[in-house]
Structure 1
Amino acid sequence: MKSAHVPESVKKVVHLGSRSVGWLTAGARLLPSFLICGGQRCGTTSLYRALAAHPAVLKAVLHKGVHYFDTSYHRGLSWYQGHFPLRRTAARVERELGVPTQTFESSPYYLYHPHAAGRIARDLPGAKMIVLVRDPVERAYSQHAHELARGFETVADFASALDLEPVRLRGQRERMLADQHAYSFSHQHHGYRARGEYAVYLRRLALEIPPERILVVESEQFFTDPRPAYDRVLDFLDLPSLGYPEFEQHNARPRSAPMPARLRTELRAHYAPHDAELAQWLGRTPSWRA
């Protein structure tokens, strides 16, 4: 039987109640042992759902992305911990499976936010990071479509939005570094070219979190041949192989028209040095450069 549509107002009330209960029981709940962060439009939702299907993995209670270490850090660690499963639930699952359980969340903005890496290192010592990357040219085009669809972008022409990016982002990172409570809408939503410079953010992440606790995964590999990529993730997380989930691609937004060839060539040249540095993290040339 088809389930009835739940109004957004009702969902908000349910979520608020669940968060209140979570906050009150925060001390009895788990904290994540790993996070999926970045890049946006790189398949983070698909990997999140594949890992959430693993019997020994318990996901965040309400949302795949809690956004604590970027935009909600002022709410405090108890608020964050309230989003995750109870320890008694984990203990029951561990008895049934005979293996340790883990919990996690996925917030792509953690890779880009100036304070996120330091906050993660401080509050989740020992946590591992999975960073998804994708052809940065295609990623930028996909992000623009995504922001348009959500109403976070008003400039419909991709080339025009790219031209505006330096103006929109000028001084925003510096302002956020100077004030840990500062927020920048454009920094979160309009970094089309900037967010594909993966090596820059990985370098910054590695200043706070040891590189051996960072795994970089190509989304192209995950979508075209998911099982080896999934096995690599399980090995990195010390999770047992207990079969494969259904691998699906989520949140894809096809464009109505291809990217202009001139713009594609320009972006490809821009990303060349960044992709060369990224190869050191992947252990090989990125597939879009091979």
Structure 2
Amino acid sequence: MPNFLVIGAAKAGTTSLYHYLNQHPEVFMSPVKEPKFFALEGEKPDFRGPGDREAWREAISSLDAYQALFEGVTDEKVVGEASPLYLYSEKAPARIKHHVPEARLIAVLRDPVERAYSQFLHKVRDGKEPLADFARAIEAEEGRVKENWAYGWHYKRRGFYYRQLSRYYAMFGPEQIRVYLYEDLKGDPAGLLRDVYGFLGVDDSFVPDMSLKHNVSGIPKNRLVHSLLRGRNPVKAALKPFLPRRLRKRLLVNLQGRNLTEPPGVAPAVRRALIEEYREDVSKLQGLIGRDLSGWLR
């Protein structure tokens, strides 16, 4: 079982953090990046949004299957996984407390408006979001929740971090929780990693390869190329025996990034409306984590 977890937030750099940690010789990371076990234990999700069933195939709800993810552990000092759903899940904190009560917990938080927009763009990028307008997608959110669309469609809801983190602080000591901001990860990734390594008790002088950008949102320049790069196809299958997994990953990430164009920003009126919805939560969050978040309210 893991002794540390990256619990969120979605679209706040957790994929990059997973890959950085996975390179550390004293860290074992689950080969499945997002098992989602503590959010789904014993459940059989039947989500109804576009592409949900395929997207949730790797989700693990059985304890035996979850434990099997860590069978490859050898002499690593720490063992972890990264499931951003844990921060949002109401059930995850109690399940984590039950199974791994001493686990160290890492969260990375992003401006909630930018986070919501990035998640929307992620769905647009993958051809799953039927609404091309962010404001309309936000308006449709509550209806989608009622229709049991998966958590990835909860654009606005997933940004109330004070509400979500409070569940963890109620069950775990503050010494077990480390909270960072997305700005920390983007502005000084090496510094953030040194702090994470210290928190986990591993060699903090290790420097991973941080040259690749992971899970980038954007608008595909060419939909066909995007589908070929992200889906299963004969070309990728033919190359598999000849290229090591790490090299294949690097090549695909690079090509996918080259096929994405920078999207427009959030419309000012939409941003103002969302800021007002988040204002109280952000104000409380500042006190909880001891960080100035006034930039999120502008």
TM-score, length of structure 1 as denominator length: 0.75
The aligned residue for residue 79 of structure 2 is: 103
* Cα distance change of structure 1 residues 85 and 259 upon mapping to structure 2, 3 Å threshold: same
The aligned residue for residue 264 of structure 2 is: 257
The aligned residue for residue 81 of structure 1 is: 67
Which residues in structure 2 correspond to 1:208-219 (within 5 Å)?
Answer: 208-219=171-182
TM-score, length of structure 2 as denominator length: 0.73
The aligned residue for residue 245 of structure 1 is: 208
The aligned residue for residue 137 of structure 1 is: 113
Which residues in structure 2 correspond to 1:42-81 (within 5 Å)?
Answer: 42-60=12-30, 62-74=31-43, 75-81=61-67
| Partner SS, residue 51 of structure 1 | helix
Q: Which runs of 5+ in 2 are unaligned?
A: 44-60, 219-261
Question: Does the 8 A contact of 2:125 with 2:217 survive in 1?
Answer: no
Post-superposition Cα deviations, 1:120-151, rounded to whole Å, max 9, x if no partner, equal 11011201111110111111100011123335
Letter paired with 1:204: R
Question: Does the 8 A contact of 1:32 with 1:104 survive in 2?
Answer: yes
| Partner SS, residue 156 of structure 1 | coil
* Cα distance change of structure 1 residues 208 and 73 upon mapping to structure 2, 3 Å threshold: farther
| Partner SS, residue 117 of structure 1 | helix
Matched residues in 1 for 2:23 and 2:64: separation?
26
Letter paired with 2:189: P
| Partner SS, residue 122 of structure 2 | helix
Letter paired with 1:150: D
Letter paired with 1:249: K
Count of residue correspondences: 236
Letter paired with 1:165: E
Q: Which runs of 5+ in 1 are unaligned?
A: 1-30, 94-100, 173-183
Matched residues in 2 for 1:138 and 1:73: separation?
33
CA RMSD of aligned residues (A): 2.1
| Partner SS, residue 121 of structure 2 | helix
Matched residues in 1 for 2:294 and 2:71: separation?
37
- Runs of 4+ aligned residues of structure 1 deviating over 6 Å after TM superposition are none
Letter paired with 1:130: I
Post-superposition Cα deviations, 1:34-83, rounded to whole Å, max 9, x if no partner, equal 011111100001111111111100111x3111121123545432211100
| Partner SS, residue 185 of structure 1 | coil
Matched residues in 1 for 2:131 and 2:160: separation?
22
Question: Does the 8 A contact of 1:223 with 1:249 survive in 2?
Answer: no
Question: Does the 8 A contact of 1:37 with 1:110 survive in 2?
Answer: yes
Question: Does the 8 A contact of 2:195 with 2:204 survive in 1?
Answer: no
